[in-house]
Amino acid sequence: MSITLSSTFTDNLLGTSSTAGVAEQIGAGTLVLYASGGSPPAGPNESATGTVLATFTFSSAGSQGSPSAGAMTIVFNATSVTATGTGTADYFRILNSGSTALIQGSVSTTGADWNLSSVTVNSGDSVAITGTPSISWVVT
- CA-wise closest residue to 53 among 113, 107, 100, 111: 107
Nearest-angstrom CA–CA distance, 40 and 46: 10
Q: Where in the chain are the domains?
A: 7-136
Write the DSSP assignment of 48-96 as a string of letters: P-SEEEEEEEBPPGGGSPPPBTTEEE--BS-SEEE--S-EE--EEEEE-
The DSSP bridge partners found for residue 34 are 52, 91
- CA-wise closest residue to 89 among 56, 122, 111, 58: 122
Express each pLDDT in 79-126 by its tens digit: 999 999 999 999 999 888 889 888 888 999 999 888 999 999 999 999
Nearest-angstrom CA–CA distance, 13 and 137: 9
Query: What letter does residue 28 receive in the DSSP assignment?
Result: T
At 67 the pLDDT is 75
Nearest 5°: CA angle at 47, between 104 and 138? 15
Average pLDDT over residues 73-81: 89
Express each pLDDT in 7-66 by its tens digit: 676 676 776 656 667 767 777 889 999 999 999 999 888 999 999 999 999 887 567 777
Nearest-angstrom CA–CA distance, 10 and 86: 36
